[in-house]
Structure 1
């Protein structure tokens, strides 16, 4: 297809024309109110200038940047409104969010004024193109259509038939050119400002942190459930006791059910980001973890002091996962050994200590992914976590700030 015909066959030419004409609504309404005919360019230009203060004032409303952004995405860039700047960038071409600063408001107001003037020009040319087309068509058959065209034709002749499509073709090329200029302008006026770029990066960071947190939770929850299941199944087979087997199956069932609840919660958040997450377990439910470890054969000596139920949400939820991973590591690497758990909730800090006797399989486990996850959780909360052998025991000590 010849290059000069491409604007006539591209859908974007006509969506941009609609976008421009819609921007001229204040001018069109004014022409109906005062009764200005389209064959009066000077009056039409005056009507295009009168709404500028009102349009600029409306453009200062923060929500207008959101509305203009959506319109520009859908009509100036149809088919690519979701495209990003660069393959690896998370920044949108056109921002569709309320204005975050007075700079964004001012730029939006200037954009709306420019759209008003460009749209008024295209709207006037559209009416003139239609009127001129009717004038040429009437000249072919010798009738006066009574249009407001600035072009006048005297007499009638069949040759005017070749001029009938000319005004519409000129309009299409003008609309394509003005639309392309407006699209380029929109990239600058409605593109992300420095504040909006920062907001996008913050949202992306929060999204990645949330996914990282959910991955750690799945690791801790599923890993704990599988460890308990393996330990309980092995102990039940070794004990060869129906009573102990029933207890082991009950422990496996409870732990597996809790893990399935965690898995369902995380998958729901991943599939439907707008859905609120189910309640996450807190340190006030530590007895469930302790009972699960005892049912697996570990002799757990636990002591919980202080107002654990009044801890801040992030602290108590992360402390629960830290305790879960610590008990899982004991069962996985040391087996059914005595475990000492001390949890102390003070006014400004939460102290959590888990210790167990060293065994041949518990030596040199300080670099596993479980302990790395514990350290990451503590660091994100501004705390510290230390783990290692001490006086014949494996000791995990976690210090988390409460405020």
Structure 2
């Protein structure tokens, strides 16, 4: 397995180097005003290093500066599309404006570090490149380039020729080390604040909840459609009646079309994140579910009481899916049997009951136990999210699913 590329061959080494050199522009601009760049003394360089500090601290007070610095750091300090070696690792650098004084203080510290380290890297870069040029001139036999302090006296040309790449290699190594340092500082000083981390965690939680909801939607819708299709096809084959077969095929077609509409809506949500989804079915369309169950041969007796139109949208949509899952479970495990459905709206509660003969439900209880299987667990999860409750089990000689949902 090949090891990581050397700093000399990594594009990110040079983007970090460039990022540091850009930070040195401000000190040099200030130096042209005072004290000047005409043979500055070490004391002058100290003044040049201090002059930009008040300016960058004042700039850090602008919230947008943090966003600009974060975007630059992401682009130039970490592997990405610009680098030969890409990385899926999150750089851990925020790219949103400052939201607190703590963010502004960290941005100010970052700008000061970037300016001071950039100035040091720029000076070292200039000195080492000048040294390499001097070695090149000495190797070419130019007397003006022979500096005894740098060359150590008069050496053969081939010695100078061999020494030419040494300052450049030292320069690249130093730039790589400074780049790694500034990248590490960027994670600490430009990284997300506690508030930003909490916001990102909440967003991630919302995404996971949405994915879980979409998974339940697909399970309920497609599972219901496939179960009805299997039951109807089996009944049609057993009946050997052309008219019954026609009705079964018509029911399969209608159920399949409804399932395709649900699938298209869910796929639209996945493709168009952030855009509103199409209308989801509510209890007002429960008749479609009951008719589908009847077309499979089940004898469905439904009792509806109370104003369904006053049920809040989220409760009505989830109750529709619960009813769909309950009917699917009965048809899947018990076949076309007598099913009693009761939907009642009263006392700020929505009550949903689905009953079927216990003798036909033994396969469900024996396979999944008294608590029900995956479908019942999904119904319980939906009810819990709405602040309600759902229970399933034996009730006399029947199997009963009972759901209570608050309307407020």
**TM-score in terms of structure 1 length:** 0.79
Moved more, 22-31 or 379-388: 22-31
Asked if 1:353 corresponds to 2:353, the answer is yes
Look up the match of 2:94.
Answer: 96
Asked if 1:396 corresponds to 2:395, the answer is no
Residues 223 and 328, structure 1, Cα contact 8 Å, conserved in 2? yes
Residues 72 and 94, structure 1, Cα contact 8 Å, conserved in 2? no
Between the aligned partners of 1:284 and 1:38, the Cα distance in structure 2 is 85
Moved more, 319-328 or 215-224: 215-224
Between the aligned partners of 1:143 and 1:93, the Cα distance in structure 2 is 48
Asked if 1:72 corresponds to 2:77, the answer is no
Look up the match of 2:323.
Answer: 323
Residues 67 and 96, structure 1, Cα contact 8 Å, conserved in 2? no
TM-superposed CA distance for 1:205, in Å, is 3.1
Long gaps (5+) in structure 2:
80-84
Between the aligned partners of 1:61 and 1:292, the Cα distance in structure 2 is 62
- Which of 82, 106, 116 matches 2:88? 82
Asked if 1:246 corresponds to 2:238, the answer is no
Look up the match of 1:202.
Answer: 202
What RMSD in Å do the two structures reach over aligned CA positions? 3.7
Residues 361 and 399, structure 2, Cα contact 8 Å, conserved in 1? no
TM-superposed CA distance for 1:230, in Å, is 1.6
TM-superposed CA distance for 1:327, in Å, is 1.3
Q: Secondary structure at the match of 2:330?
A: helix
Between the aligned partners of 2:194 and 2:206, the Cα distance in structure 1 is 18
TM-superposed CA distance for 1:286, in Å, is 2.0
TM-superposed CA distance for 1:189, in Å, is 2.5
- Which of 385, 390, 401 matches 2:390? 385
TM-superposed CA distance for 1:363, in Å, is 6.2
- How do 1:18-37 and structure 2 match up within 5 A? 18-30=18-30, 36-37=36-37
Long gaps (5+) in structure 1:
84-91, 145-150
Residues 38 and 44, structure 1, Cα contact 8 Å, conserved in 2? no
TM-superposed CA distance for 1:376, in Å, is 1.3
1:216–1:63 distance in 2 versus 1, CA, 3 Å: farther
Between the aligned partners of 1:38 and 1:13, the Cα distance in structure 2 is 31
TM-superposed CA distance for 1:402, in Å, is 2.6
**TM-score in terms of structure 2 length:** 0.78
Look up the match of 2:213.
Answer: 213
Look up the match of 2:111.
Answer: 112
Look up the match of 1:147.
Answer: none
Count how many residue pairs are aligned between Structure 1 and Structure 2: 384
Look up the match of 1:125.
Answer: 124
Q: Secondary structure at the match of 1:290?
A: helix
Residues 94 and 192, structure 2, Cα contact 8 Å, conserved in 1? no
1:64–1:320 distance in 2 versus 1, CA, 3 Å: farther
Q: Secondary structure at the match of 1:382?
A: coil
Asked if 1:182 corresponds to 2:182, the answer is yes
1:157–1:275 distance in 2 versus 1, CA, 3 Å: farther
Between the aligned partners of 1:228 and 1:302, the Cα distance in structure 2 is 18
Between the aligned partners of 1:303 and 1:64, the Cα distance in structure 2 is 64
TM-superposed CA distance for 1:374, in Å, is 0.6
Look up the match of 1:282.
Answer: 282
Look up the match of 2:82.
Answer: none
